Structure 1
Amino acid sequence: MGCDASKSTDVIENEEIESDTFDFTDTQIDTIRSTWPILACDMVDIGSKVFLKIFIDEPKLKYAFPSFSDMEENDLLRHPPFIDHVTRFMQIIDYLVENLDQQNSDFHQALLMLGAKHATFPGFQVSHFTVFNKALLEVWESAIGEEFIPEVQNCWTQLFAYIMRYIVQGYELYFSECQDEIIEEKT
């Protein structure tokens, strides 16, 4: 994989993936899938709200995105790279929601790679995933409204924990490999 941000993050060995996964019950999957259409009806709007919330809660995170780090909110909402980013983010959530009952190594590999990619962003720290998680829950609660009852919140919280677990693991694997390369270079 490599420590250099320009190197590919296309491969994370399967033996590095923790074997245990979250098992979602049929009820949890149904709950997530029944509320997802409320969020998916305007993915750009919901995704934009998540990222704007992140940038409000942790302004330094905006600098991890050089193509729009110096833009104001109104300009961001019309900026194609920002819109592309939030669209890809929401498409990932859509894919996860649709495939919750078919978790496999490709599913986990995609999340690991996403975490490794974030490790290459300038100034991005693993603690920033907490800001991201908080923003997701707040935007979801606002968008879903009165249907965001404790059971719904718990199901989405579990899904976000699942996502974050693999993303953080991918992020940490990236830096672990960097450390291994440094040690190899010194010997």
Structure 2
Amino acid sequence: MGCESSRNVQIALEPDSTDNQPTHRSFDSNHDAKKQGPILTEIQIDIINSTWPLLAEDKVTHGMCIFMDIFLVEPKIKALFKLDSEADADLIRNDGRIQGHVSKFMSHIDNVCSNLDVVVSQHYDSVVIKDLLLLGAHHATIPGFEFIYFGIFVKCLHLTWERVLREEYTEEVRDTWAALFEFIISKIQEGYRLYYEDQQPHDNHLHLHSHGSARLKDDSG
């Protein structure tokens, strides 16, 4: 499925959905997990397990649709990939950097969908959550990346999911995916904030402490 309907994308970002700047806070995994409670119900887990295979049939194409929408909503994001602001759809789709980023982006979603038990339990020592935290930290190192872009990503995820699932993207299904997107983005945002916290005493490494630890070196890809 192509992204023809992306041409008329219009998204109004909700002021409260994301902050313009990362906020700094201490990281207490046990406190956060207790405060948040379960992210997904059993019914919602079933919904994701039944709809994700449809979305995963062509992850690259669907992922590319997400990014085409993102570039339409906020053309400045093209510059993060060293693309000209006037770069057309064909040039973007054939760009190796975009293709690689799309593949990695969809792999992160696939990894979460394949480990929903981690989402429910919120074990901060799990590889899934550490990967999301490190992904957020990596985005903090990208020159020109703005915190508000996370909100654009979420809204464009919904656009593609609705485009692919069509009538199956009911209110219940949308709410279910919204809960999962919120979990994913919240962990990425947390890693983004933690990177800035870590830069106060250190310049070259990110340390994410919970029950275990993770480190992102400044030369990571």
TM-score band by shorter chain is 0.7 to 0.9
List, as ranges, runs of 4+ consecutive aligned residues in structure 1 with deviation greater than 4 Å.
none
Q: Which has the higher contact order (CA 8 A, sep 6+)?
A: 1
* One-letter identity of the residue aligned with 2:43: T
> Aligned equivalents of 2:131 and 2:114: distance in 1?
15
What are the equivalent positions in structure 2 for 1:6-25 lying under 5 Å apart? 16=27, 18-19=29-30, 20=33, 22-25=38-41
Which one is further off, 55-64 or 79-88? 79-88
- Aligned length, in residue pairs: 166
**1:121 equivalenced with 2:142 (yes/no):** yes
Please state whether the residue corresponding to 1:118 is helix, strand or coil.
helix
2:200 alignment counterpart: 179
Higher strand share: 2
2:21 alignment counterpart: none
1:112-151 Cα distance to aligned partner (Å, 9 max, x none): 0000000111111111100111111111111110000011
For structure 2, list consecutive stretches of 5 or more residues without a partner in the other structure: 1-25, 204-221
Higher helix share: 1
Match of 1:93 among 102, 109, 117: 109
**1:33 equivalenced with 2:49 (yes/no):** yes
1:33-73 Cα distance to aligned partner (Å, 9 max, x none): 1111221111111000001111110111111223xx22432
For structure 1, list consecutive stretches of 5 or more residues without a partner in the other structure: 1-14, 183-187
Please state whether the residue corresponding to 1:23 is helix, strand or coil.
coil
Please state whether the residue corresponding to 1:16 is helix, strand or coil.
coil
- Alpha carbon RMSD of aligned pairs, Å? 1.7
> Aligned equivalents of 1:63 and 1:82: distance in 2?
12
Match of 2:170 among 149, 156, 159: 149
Distance 1:181 1:91, change over 3 A: closer
TM-score, with structure 1 as normaliser: 0.82
